[in-house]
Structure 1
Amino acid sequence: MSTSLSAPFKALNRLGLIPQIVIGILCGISVATLSPELAASVSLLGQVFISALKAVAPVLVFVLVMAAIAGHQRGQPTQIHSVLVLYLIGTLVAALVAVVASFALPTELTLNTAQASGNPPGGVVEILRNLLLSAVANPVSALMNANFIAILVWAVSLGLVLRSASAATKGMIEDLSQAVSTLVRWVIRLAPLGIFGLVAGTLAEAGIGALLEYAQLLSVIVGCMLFVALVTNPLIVFLATRQNPYPLVFSCLRGSAITAFFTRSSAANIPVNLELCKRLKLDEDTYSISIPLGATINMSGAAITISVMTLATAHTLGISVDFVTALLLCVVSALAACGVSGVAGGSLLLIPMAASLFGISADVAMQVVAIGFVISVVQDSTETALNSSTDVLFTAAASRRGELSD
C-alpha cells in the first residue's frame, strides 16, 4: 500500500523543477477558482517560501561574491581583458535596454498593500548619499537587515584581500560557497509548493487579473532579452570585430542557448560552451578562463530582470523615477548581476539590493521576488540562455578582434 502511495511522488520528483512549478501554478489557479477560502489558507505556503528566501539571500550574496573574487587567478592572458570589457559593456547595455523598455511599457504588480509602501528618495544626490552610507554599514548589521549594498561592498573587499590567501584558505572559502549554494538549492526545491500558495492566495484576493499582470511583466522581460540577443549584442560584436556578427550570433544561440534554456544554469552549461569554443577554433588559453568566469559575472539577462522588476515595483508604489536615477539603476543592476549565483532564480534574489535604491522595503522586494518565481518557468530559462550564449559570443568577438590586430 505504501509503495503504491509513494509511486506518484517519485514520478513527480523525477519531472524536475520546471514541470513541478508549472504544476504548482496550475494547482494554485484551480484551488483559487474552485475554493477561494481554501486558497486563502494555503497562501501560508507562499509566506513560508518568501521568509526562507529572505533568510538565505544575504548570506548567498556575501559568500558567493567573496568566493568568486578570492578565487580569481592573476596573470590572465591579454585577451581576457578584452572579454571582460565586452562582458561589462554588454551587461550595462542590457540594463539600459531594460530601463528604456520599463519607461515605455510601465507595469504594475499586485502586491500586499499593507506592506507595499515605499519611501522614495528626494533625488540623485540623496540616492548617492544613502548609497554611500549604506555601503559602509557594519557587516553583521548588513547581513541581519539585508543591506545588500553593504553586503556587496564587504564581499568584494574581503574577496580582494583573500586573493593573496593560502590555497587552504581559498579552498575553505570555496567549500563554504558550495555549501551555501546547496542550501539555496534546497530552498529553491520548495518553489513549487511556495508558488502554489502564492498563486492561490494572490488569485483568491485579486482575481485572474493578477496573472495577466504577470504575463505583461514577462513579455517586457523576455522582449528585452530577445532585443539584446538579436540587436544590441550583434551591434557590440560588430563594433569590436568590424565583421558581420550574425553568423557568429546564430552559432552561439544554436550551440549554447538551447541547452542553457533547459538546464537553467550557466554553470551547468560551461562544458557545452567550452566545446562550442573548441569548434569555433578560439584561443584555448582565453576561453578556458573566460567561459567559467563569464558564468559568474557576465549576466546581461540578470541585469534585465533586476532592472525591469525593480522599476515595475517603483511604478506600482507610485515612486517617481527620473532618467538619471534610472541610469544609476543600470550600474547597480550590472554590478548586482555579477553576484548572481549559479542556481536557478539567482537573479531574483538580488532584486532587493536594486529596490533599496528607491527606499523600497525588503518585505515588498521579497514579494516581487516571489512574483519572479511565478514567471521563472520562462523568465529564468530565457535569462540563462542569453547569459550563457553571450559568454561564447563575447569570447569569440574578443579572440577575433585580437587576431585582426595581430
Structure 2
Amino acid sequence: MSEIISKRSIFKSYQSMILLLIGIITGCIVGAVMGEKAQMFKPFGQIFLNLMFTAVVPLVFFSLSSSVAKMTNMKRLGKILKNALLIFFITGIIASIFIIAVVTVVPPAQGVSIEMGTYDEASQMNMMDQVVKALTVSDFNLILSRNAMLPLIIFAIAFGYCVSFVSKERGLINNPVTDFLDICSEAFMKMINLIMLYAPIGLGAYFASLVGTYGSELINAYARAVIMFFPICIVYFLVCFTAYAYYAGGVRGIKAYYANILPAVVTSLATQSSIATLPTNLTGTKRMGVPEDISDIVLPLGATIHMDGTALTTLMKIAFLFGLFNMPFTGLNTWITAIAISVMSGVVISGIPGGGMMGSLIIVGFYGFNPDVIPIIVTIGMLTDAIATMVNATGDAVAAMMVTRRVEGRDWMDKTSDQTYAPLEDVKAS
C-alpha cells in the first residue's frame, strides 16, 4: 500500500510537467507534419504568454512585499543568518563561474541558426550603465513592466520593509495593509494556477508554430542543451559539494555528508521541490551533527532562497540565447552581468511562485531579446528542473554544515553527539 501511495505522490508531483511535455511533444509533432502551415496555431500560444505577462508582474510585487512585511524580529537570527546569506551568495557565484567555464568551451547552441528577431546589444553600454539599467527605472510607471523585473523586486522588498517598519513603530499587531498584500499575493498565485491550466495547450500551439518554422534545428538545439546540463549538475554536485563538506568538517565532514544525503537526493528528484525535501534534510543534517538551532534556520531559508541548481539553469539559458542570437558569450562584462542575474535567480527569484517564468523574463528584458524566445528557455528550465532541484536541496544540507563551522568553530564535529553521520538504522534504534 505504501508503495502505491508513494507512486501516486510522485505522479502528482510530476503531473503538471507531464501534461506540459505532452502538450509540447504534440505541438512538435503537429509542427513537423504541417510545416509552415502550423503558424496558424501561434495566436493560441501568444494568448498564454500574454496572460502570464499580465499576471506575473503584480504577483512578484504582492508576493515579495507581503513576505517582507510579515517578517518580525530579524535581529534574532544574528550570526547564523549573516553567515547563511554569505554562504548562499558565495556558492551561487561559484556555481555560476563553474557553468560559465563549461558553456564557454562547449556552447549549448553552437551551430544553431534560427531567426528570432533582433536584440539590443548589451555591450554597447558600459558596466555602470548596465547596473543602473538593471536595478532602477526613471519613472514609477516603468516599474510596472515585465522589462523591469529586477527594479520591481527591489521596490517590492523596500516597500514590504517600510510596511513592517511602520507597523512596529505604531504598535500594530494586525496591520490591514499587510493583510491586503497577503490576500493579493494569494489571489494572483491562484490566477497563475488558473492560467497554467491552459499551459499545455498554449505551449503546444507555440511549439507547433516554432517547429513548423524551424524544424529539426530547434529540436537538436534542445537536445544539446539538456544533454550537456545533466553531467554539469552531477560534476558540480560531486566536486563542489565535496569541497564544501571538506571545508565544513574535513574528511569527517565529507563522510558525514555522503553517508546521509541520499534520502534528500531521492526525495528532491521525486518531488521536484526543495520545500518538500525539507523534512528529509532536517533529519539528514541532524545525523550529520548540525545543531538544531542552525538547521532550523538555515534549511527553511535555504529551501526558499538558496538555489545553486537554479543558478546553473539560468546561466545555461543565457548561454543558449547568446548562441541562438549569434552573440559571443565572452568578455568580463558579459560574464559579470550573467553571474549577477544567475545569483539573483538563485537567491531571490526561486523563493517566489512562478520563479521560472520570472527568471526568463529578467533574462529577456535585461538583454533585450525577442520575447518570443521565452517559451524556449522556459521549456529548458522545465526539462532540467528535477536535477536542478536535487542540486538546490542537497546544497542546503552542505550549506548548513558550513554555517555550523563558522558559528561553532572548526572543531564543531567534536562537540556533537556520537550520532554524527550515524546510519539511519542506528539513529532509529537509539
TM-score normalised per structure 1: 0.84
Q: Does 1:256 align with 2:264?
A: yes
Name which of structure 1's ranges 96-105 and 268-277 shifts more when overlaid on structure 2: 268-277
- 1:24-64: CA deviations, max 9, x gaps? 23322332233336633333332222222322332333333
- The CA deviation at 1:276 is 3.2
Preserved CA contact (<8 Å) 2:275 2:300:
yes
What is the aligned partner in structure 1 of residue 93 from structure 2? Answer: 92
Q: How does 1:236-315 map to 2 (within 5 A)?
A: 236-251=244-259, 253-315=261-323
What is the aligned partner in structure 2 of residue 148 from structure 1? Answer: 149
Preserved CA contact (<8 Å) 2:299 2:400:
yes
Preserved CA contact (<8 Å) 1:294 1:391:
yes
Distance 2:269 2:216 in 1: 28
Preserved CA contact (<8 Å) 1:28 1:39:
no
- The CA deviation at 1:341 is 4.3
Change (3 A) 1:345 1:262: farther
Change (3 A) 1:225 1:58: farther
What is the aligned partner in structure 2 of residue 34 from structure 1? Answer: 33
Q: Percent identity?
A: 18
Distance 1:378 1:274 in 2: 28
Q: Does 1:404 align with 2:410?
A: yes
- The CA deviation at 1:214 is 0.7
Which amino acid in the other structure matches residue 350 of structure 1? G
SS of the residue 2:77 aligns to: coil
Distance 2:151 2:272 in 1: 29
Preserved CA contact (<8 Å) 1:195 1:373:
no
- The CA deviation at 1:376 is 4.2
Preserved CA contact (<8 Å) 1:333 1:354:
no
Distance 1:89 1:53 in 2: 32
- The CA deviation at 1:293 is 1.2
Preserved CA contact (<8 Å) 1:270 1:295:
yes
Q: Does 1:126 align with 2:126?
A: yes
SS of the residue 2:122 aligns to: coil
SS of the residue 2:410 aligns to: helix
Preserved CA contact (<8 Å) 2:143 2:152:
yes
Preserved CA contact (<8 Å) 1:32 1:200:
yes
SS of the residue 1:58 aligns to: helix
Preserved CA contact (<8 Å) 2:134 2:148:
yes
Give the paired residue count. Answer: 389
Preserved CA contact (<8 Å) 1:348 1:372:
no
What is the aligned partner in structure 1 of residue 400 from structure 2? Answer: 395
Distance 2:27 2:222 in 1: 15
- 1:177-215: CA deviations, max 9, x gaps? 333333323333333222322322221111123111111
What is the aligned partner in structure 2 of residue 332 from structure 1? Answer: 341
- The CA deviation at 1:161 is 2.5
- The CA deviation at 1:78 is 2.9
Change (3 A) 1:376 1:68: same
Distance 1:232 1:14 in 2: 28
Name which of structure 1's ranges 134-143 and 224-233 shifts more when overlaid on structure 2: 134-143
Preserved CA contact (<8 Å) 2:248 2:404:
no
Distance 1:151 1:343 in 2: 13
SS of the residue 2:397 aligns to: helix
Distance 1:355 1:184 in 2: 20
Name which of structure 1's ranges 336-345 and 184-193 shifts more when overlaid on structure 2: 336-345
Distance 2:211 2:68 in 1: 43
- The CA deviation at 1:134 is 5.0
What is the aligned partner in structure 2 of residue 20 from structure 1? Answer: 19
TM-score normalised per structure 2: 0.79
Distance 1:58 1:158 in 2: 15
Structure (1 or 2) with the larger CA radius of gyration: 2
Distance 2:96 2:392 in 1: 13
Distance 1:375 1:72 in 2: 34
Preserved CA contact (<8 Å) 1:58 1:146:
no
What is the aligned partner in structure 2 of residue 370 from structure 1? Answer: 375
Which amino acid in the other structure matches residue 132 of structure 1? V
Preserved CA contact (<8 Å) 2:69 2:164:
yes
Distance 1:154 1:67 in 2: 12
- The CA deviation at 1:344 is 7.7
- The CA deviation at 1:112 is 7.2
Preserved CA contact (<8 Å) 2:64 2:157:
yes
Q: Does 1:48 align with 2:54?
A: no
Distance 1:42 1:378 in 2: 23
Which amino acid in the other structure matches residue 121 of structure 1? A
Which amino acid in the other structure matches residue 197 of structure 1? A
What is the aligned partner in structure 1 of residue 104 from structure 2? Answer: 103
Distance 1:158 1:378 in 2: 35
What is the aligned partner in structure 1 of residue 62 from structure 2? Answer: 63
SS of the residue 2:108 aligns to: coil
